[in-house]
Structure 1
């Protein structure tokens, strides 16, 4: 009897940690494990806003898969997933096809524009290492263009960020730190630069404690960030946005959209039922109707039974989902009971750039400023340790003092 074949799609937080856990639970005789990813590296999605702002080097945010996943235990396939055929238990890749006994889908997110005209065509997005690096280079190019132009346009130095959720706020925080450096480099008056954050909701960082939100907003405004809250972007154009019911036009050469994400479109194209762009998975993280397909991370909605609402898809949840997913695949192979996913909220900390941060840990203890920033680094380094041990922390970590 041939051993079962486990195929994992995507080397994000969920895919990498599920692979690590499967390696720990299953021997090479128990199962064949295949990890498919379109790049030969894994990247820290939660660091992409820093890459986009230019406050860390892109290489700092990525890890070669073969450095942390033993290629003698796991077959690493560098290819692009084109379609999943769950009824045939097959996956179509750009350069071939894979069959499977168990499938783990962690293909990440795509930009959700909610039908805003021009947003898909004209706005940049913090989605990958390459796209984030492009934003970094684009921002610096605007300063260079302004510096070298005889009659520079003001919109060259206007940076619009759509969305005041986690990514949007962390990105404007990094921009607030990077802009003074670029002003000095290109001899530009800081007062000529605008960072405008636009949000349809009446507050930034929905779901955070009111005191923390006030602290975050004050910290960012003190460093020059403008907020337009309760204001919808009606249209995105090549040279700016139209906002609000009065159709105000804000000219800008740089527009970054962080206002929403949805599951990789491959899921919908492969016949999985979507709710608001994602799959509502069962409590054991399997896709409804399929006993052999697990869907994790940004591709999935996992319901909180107490609130009746899905958990927000964070890196913390993806890592915990990986533990349950690996345990359940192990259980299916060995004929034991499956686990239900229960989220253990260890807190959430948002970086606001430089030494600025805020958030909660454990039972709601609030942290502000440097202590919050240090905790953010501890959280980042903990993941690196889980992924690659002390060596990876020493190589990529944020343990160094300020």
Structure 2
């Protein structure tokens, strides 16, 4: 009898940690493990806003898969997933097909534009290392154009960020740190650039309490960020956004959309039922109707039974999902009870750029400023340790508060 084949799609937080846990829990005699990813590297999604703003080098966010996944234990396939055929237990890749006994889907997210006209065509998005690097280069190009006197248009130095969730707020925080450096580099009046954050909800950072929200907003405003809250983006044009009920047009040289994500399009195209762009998975993280398919991370909604609402798809949750997924696959192979996913909230810290941050840890203890920034770095370094041990922390870790 051949040993079962486990195929993991996507090398994001969920896919990488599931693969790592499966390596630890199952011997080579018990299962064959295959990891499929379109690149030969894993990247820190939660660092992409820094790449996009230009406050860290793009390579800092990338980790070679072969550096942390033993290729003698796991077959690493560099290819693009085109479609899943769950009834046939097969995955169609760009360069061939692969069959499986157990499938883990962690294909990540795509930009969700909620039908806003022009958003898909004209807005930039922080989705990958390459797209974030493009934003970084685009921003600097706008400063160079202004410096070279291209019409002396102030909108070249206007930056509109749609969405005040984690990515949007952390990105404008990084912009608030980077833009003064670019002004100095290109000899531009530091009062010329504008950073405008537009959010349909009446507040920023849903999930934080009012005290933390007020602290974060004040910190950003003191460094020049403008907020338009309770204001919907009605349309996105090539060099402008139309906002609010009065249809105000804001001309901008850079428009970045962070207002929503949905599961990779492959999920819906493969026949899985979607709710608001993602799959409502069972409590054991399996896709409804399929005992051999697990869906994790940004592709899945996992319900919080206490609130009746899904958990927000954060890196912390994806890593915890990986633990449960690996344990459940091991149980299916060896025989045993499956575990339900219950989120263990260790706290949430949001970076606000430079030395600035705020959030809660463990029992709800609030942190502000430098202490929060240090904790943010500790959280990031902990993931690196879980993934690749002390060597990876020394190579990629964040040891300075800014």
| Structure 2 match to 1:254 | 254
| Structure 1 match to 2:141 | 141
CA–CA separation in structure 1 for the residues paired with 2:99 and 2:149: 57
| Structure 1 match to 2:302 | 302
| Structure 2 match to 1:123 | 123
> 1:273-308 CA distances to partner (integer Å, 9 max, x unpaired)?
000000000000000000000000000000000000
> 1:116-172 CA distances to partner (integer Å, 9 max, x unpaired)?
000000000000000000000000000000000253111100000000000000000
Q: Secondary structure at the match of 1:206?
A: coil
Q: Is 1:171 the equivalent of 2:181? A: no
Equivalent pair of 2:51/2:57 in contact (CA under 8 Å): yes
CA–CA separation in structure 2 for the residues paired with 1:311 and 1:62: 27
CA–CA separation in structure 2 for the residues paired with 1:297 and 1:43: 14
| Structure 1 match to 2:28 | 28
| TM superposition shift of 1:190 | 1.0
| TM superposition shift of 1:239 | 1.1
Matches within 5 A, 1:2-401: 2-149=2-149, 151-400=151-400
CA–CA separation in structure 2 for the residues paired with 1:234 and 1:338: 46
Equivalent pair of 2:377/2:401 in contact (CA under 8 Å): no
CA–CA separation in structure 2 for the residues paired with 1:204 and 1:334: 46
Distance of aligned partners of 1:24 and 1:149 in 2 relative to their CA distance in 1, 3 Å threshold:
same
> 1:231-264 CA distances to partner (integer Å, 9 max, x unpaired)?
0000000010000010100000110000000000
| TM superposition shift of 1:33 | 0.1
Equivalent pair of 2:5/2:33 in contact (CA under 8 Å): yes
User: Any stretches of 5+ residues in structure 2 without a counterpart?
Assistant: none
Q: Secondary structure at the match of 2:321?
A: helix
Question: Aligned residues, how many?
Answer: 402
| TM superposition shift of 1:326 | 0.1
CA-based RMSD: 0.6
- TM-score, normalising length from structure 2? 0.99
| TM superposition shift of 1:54 | 0.2
- Runs (4+) off by over 2 Å: none
CA–CA separation in structure 2 for the residues paired with 1:47 and 1:13: 12
| TM superposition shift of 1:401 | 5.5
Q: Secondary structure at the match of 1:190?
A: coil
CA–CA separation in structure 2 for the residues paired with 1:238 and 1:388: 42
Q: Secondary structure at the match of 2:236?
A: strand
CA–CA separation in structure 1 for the residues paired with 2:97 and 2:142: 44
| TM superposition shift of 1:206 | 1.1
Distance of aligned partners of 1:251 and 1:70 in 2 relative to their CA distance in 1, 3 Å threshold:
same
User: Any stretches of 5+ residues in structure 1 without a counterpart?
Assistant: none
CA–CA separation in structure 2 for the residues paired with 1:239 and 1:382: 41
> 1:24-46 CA distances to partner (integer Å, 9 max, x unpaired)?
00000000000000000000000
CA–CA separation in structure 2 for the residues paired with 1:282 and 1:200: 31
CA–CA separation in structure 2 for the residues paired with 1:262 and 1:401: 32
Q: Secondary structure at the match of 1:192?
A: coil
Equivalent pair of 2:373/2:401 in contact (CA under 8 Å): no
Equivalent pair of 2:8/2:104 in contact (CA under 8 Å): yes
CA–CA separation in structure 2 for the residues paired with 1:151 and 1:82: 45
CA–CA separation in structure 1 for the residues paired with 2:401 and 2:306: 40
CA–CA separation in structure 1 for the residues paired with 2:253 and 2:142: 8
CA–CA separation in structure 2 for the residues paired with 1:2 and 1:242: 59
> 1:197-231 CA distances to partner (integer Å, 9 max, x unpaired)?
00000001111010000000000000000000000
CA–CA separation in structure 2 for the residues paired with 1:158 and 1:4: 55
| TM superposition shift of 1:75 | 0.1
| TM superposition shift of 1:400 | 3.5
